[in-house]
Amino acid sequence: MAKLTTKTSPGKPRNRRRTVVADGPHPIDVYVGSRVRLQRIMRGMTQTDLARLVGISFQSVQKYERGENRVSASRLHEFAQALGVAEQFFFEGIAESGVVHGVPTHLSISASEGKEFHRQLAAVMSIEDKRLRGLIVQLLRILSELGGAAVESEDAEEPSQNAP
C-alpha cells in the first residue's frame, strides 16, 4: 500500500495510507477495471450478464470497472473464468500504458463509445467469410498504424496469404 505524507503541524510530516475517498482510485485498480470492461465488451456481455456469472450485482461490476472497488485475487479469478481469459490478461500492457491522472489513456472510453464499439465489433464478427473478416482486421490495423497507434498483431486474425 502506498504511503502518503501529510503535514499536521509545521515541519512535522505524518504518514497516512492512500484512500479512495481522499486520493481517488489507485491507477492500477482503474487499469484492471478497464481491462475487465474491455474484455466484457469484446465478449458482447452486459454488466448484468457478467454480474450473474460471477454472482454479484451489476452495480458492483460498475464499481470494479471504474476502479472504485478493488478486485481481490479470488474475484479476479472469477472474472477471468467468466470472460474466458487468463488472470494475467488484466495486467497485460500495464508497464507500457500511458496513465493520466490514474486513467489509462488508451482505454478510457465513454459508455456511448463502448456501445458503438460493441456494435461495430459485432458487425465485423458476424461476417461468415473468415478470409474477408481477416482482411477487414488487417485494414483496421494499417489504418491504426497510419493514425499513429502502436498495434499488436500477434492475436489478430490474419487473412490468407493467397488473398487477391
Q: For the segment 83-116, what is each residue's pLDDT rounded down to a tens digit?
A: 999 999 998 887 766 554 444 455 455 666 667 7
pLDDT for the residue numbered 64: 94
Q: Hey, what CATH topology would domain 17-109 get?
A: 434 Repressor (Amino-terminal Domain) (1.10.260)
Domain parsing of the chain, residue ranges:
17-109
* 5 pLDDT above the threshold of 60: no
Q: At how many degrees (to 10) do helices 111-125 and 27-42 cross? A: 40
Residue 98: exposure state from Cβ atoms within 10 A (0-12, 13-18, ≥19): exposed
* 7 pLDDT above the threshold of 60: no
> What is the pLDDT confidence band of residue 52, given thresholds at 50, 70 and 90?
very high
Residue 33: exposure state from Cβ atoms within 10 A (0-12, 13-18, ≥19): buried
pLDDT for the residue numbered 162: 45
**Mean of per-residue pLDDT scores for the chain:** 77
CA 97 to each of CA 31, 104, 122: distance values in angstroms, whole numbers, following the listed order: 9, 6, 26
pTM over 0.75: no
CA 62 to each of CA 37, 57, 65, 132, 151: distance values in angstroms, whole numbers, following the listed order: 9, 9, 5, 35, 28
